[in-house]
Structure 1
């Protein structure tokens, strides 16, 4: 599926220095001509993806301004690394041979020591012994034995970090938070088992081995934030179990707010989590009155300017996709090479489906669309926009016998951005005036398509 983009905005009151991050390198015996970089500035906003071309000397360079530490993915072909911390004023040079990527890696320049640390950590805890595999094997052991293993592993990895040379204090603290978050998250998942349903939030917290970390470090850390979000989801599930009903959006947000405990979970971390939840709510439902009320409260009380700006922009963009707003124009070629424009169908009702062959829910929903298409074939224009590559698209349209108009775009095209497609399937219903007919289209599989049929009939009945 299109990656749900889980994403970071670091806090404006962070103590981290501002500066430029620079990365340059050389590929020995290259097998292709590009480097792929993904930059995560924060865990609420949007990740940044870059494709860097090699020059005629097989070299590349990349630079960007950073206000604080961030995370980076680096990939060449199918080799690379994921979620490594970078800092302002780093100027790192990298050399490697793709035929023996890890063995040939060589780093130099300001800040390169942290990348040496990552390679040594990988060697010790993934190659020489796979600690995650060991944890998986102990998952069925008695709880105390399992938790003792995790706590000891945390101590060992932190000790390994603290023995590394020439690492900044900011990096050490952030990396320590990542280690704690990643390992304690195993406990959170373990305690999510149904047999622990009656444990209170205090009892769950008592099992976590968390040392005191600076507020901004908690909020900026990838793994610490993931652990906390999973913990909040566990508490939400427990609350729903006790109440025998799903929590409302307001109840979920209030539960997150109530978890504030400076030694364990800072206010900045809570703001990050609330902003992330609001983002997901807006993407899933667009902007509803209930969500708008939660957003208004967040914008009034939050202290993080970056989060506030991002959520405000998210709301404003969502309003462009709500009922009555004009649908975004596009012009694409269909499977036969004919140019198709949304404007071609002004005066007709259009059903728009963003999908891909690798998206299980997309394919499942299509099973219910055949009957809907047959029912409304004379009244609705059905357009499917695939995110597959050219070959997979053509093969899938034929394999699944997808009727209607079939178009294709890249995942990061202007069309997906204009329609706010951050995950698929994504559906839109456009009326004869060229405006969005409803704010949220029902999934075709819901009630075996009956709810979607009612939506379409209501739209068609409008004058």
Structure 2
């Protein structure tokens, strides 16, 4: 009997030893985030559903020098972004990093370092991918295409020889390269017009896109698998097919079949985009009904979160408080100005339309200088020194403020600038999407809030 017990115990131990280890469900991240403008740094979820909402974003809490050490729950490989840096995190990663706002300066060590070092070379869709903001443009498309194809070949060779990368990662990043090529071709007409190589007219655009069609269609057809929607530039180029803005693009879109998931994604993103420009009860009701019709729960969940956010911006809702600092570094809160009519100007030093509105904002402030209203310009620059340097070179009459408070994004839904907001004397929202100061409606709105 004793021999049988020992045998059973040994068999149990052997069976236990043969069991596969449970799959990891966490990622350990530590290191330093430099010049982020805040100690609470957002790490943005960058998968497909990020086109609809941001509920999966993570805030990394750092010390005064940007250092942090945290463990994240993660059950599958996921793209995130910190400033201009794109990360690919896999359960089980143990990564030490040093990141600045320049992705080329990023440093990685530890488990997961090789793929994230590779990601430093990720191109930016808004810069035309391989066109690099137009710097790689050639006078004709044939020359531009030859350069783009050669740069893509270099990038593919880097990916093919990358060690420590899974087949799944290489498939996603291979699709990114293909989408970057397609994006370069799609961006060619606008950059060529900027350089004077062609005229920016509907006819000339259609002519160029018609010429590009044989090159574009085969590329785009390889990008329609649903899992590739987790790659940002894939979403960008397929999005141009979901809402084509020229007949030639419409003809290209007609030869590329988007999946039901992709079509639902772009339709949900369209609902969110409308919410970012105006909010009223009728719009919210229509968007709620649309969210209820969605078959993909990740998109529906993100849209509902955006609906909740938008509802807080309706006229009459309490103003959402947030913090900002003046040029001396003194901290303020919006609620410090409670009791007066407030007109907020959200802007940044790099925003051309913002700069154009600034003189109108100051002129309007002069016109209302004896009224019970406070004009508050708030820079959203993440680099405080850049903001201060700009102010030294540009004389301003109004007190100037800077904010990197996450409440601007999560509360006020500041996803584009310039953006203007009106708040009444009771610290309630009068208009979360107020007229620009260059518009006559701005003065009319202020007079209405003052009871004039």
Higher CA-based Rg: 2
- Give aligned pairs, total: 396
Shift of 1:175: 0.6
Q: 1:377 to 1:92 in 2, by over 3 A?
A: closer
* SS in structure 1 of the partner of residue 206 of structure 2: coil
Contact 1:37 1:50 in 2 (8 A): yes
What corresponds to 1:285 in structure 2?
278
What corresponds to 1:402 in structure 2?
397
What corresponds to 2:368 in structure 1?
376
> What is the CA–CA distance in structure 1 between the aligned matches of 2:238 and 2:79, rounded to whole Å?
18
TM-score using structure 2 length = 0.69
Contact 2:131 2:137 in 1 (8 A): no
What corresponds to 1:38 in structure 2?
43
Q: 1:344 to 1:422 in 2, by over 3 A?
A: same
Trace 1:30-429 onto structure 2 (pairs within 5 A).
Answer: 38-42=43-47, 43-44=50-51, 45-46=53-54, 47-52=57-62, 61-73=69-81, 82-92=85-95, 107-109=109-111, 111-115=112-116, 117-118=118-119, 136-137=135-136, 139-141=138-140, 143-151=141-149, 153-155=151-153, 157-192=155-190, 194=200, 196-199=204-207, 205-208=213-216, 209-210=218-219, 212-213=222-223, 215-230=225-240, 235-236=244-245, 238=246, 259=253, 265-287=258-280, 289-290=282-283, 293=286, 295-296=287-288, 298-329=290-321, 342=335, 345-346=338-339, 348-387=340-379, 389=384, 392=387, 396=391, 399-403=394-398, 406=399, 408-414=401-407, 417-429=410-422
Alignment gaps of 5+ in structure 1: 1-16, 28-33, 76-80, 123-129, 243-254
Contact 1:260 1:270 in 2 (8 A): no
> What is the CA–CA distance in structure 2 between the aligned matches of 1:134 and 1:453, rounded to whole Å?
38
TM-score using structure 1 length = 0.67
> What is the CA–CA distance in structure 2 between the aligned matches of 1:339 and 1:106, rounded to whole Å?
37
* SS in structure 1 of the partner of residue 305 of structure 2: helix
Contact 1:38 1:72 in 2 (8 A): yes
> What is the CA–CA distance in structure 1 between the aligned matches of 2:158 and 2:338, rounded to whole Å?
63
Q: 1:397 to 1:366 in 2, by over 3 A?
A: farther
Alignment gaps of 5+ in structure 2: 1-22, 34-38, 123-128, 194-199
Say yes or no: does 1:457 pair with 2:450: no
Q: Deviations over 1:336-365 (max 9, x none)?
A: 96977647643x433233344554433322
Contact 1:24 1:62 in 2 (8 A): yes
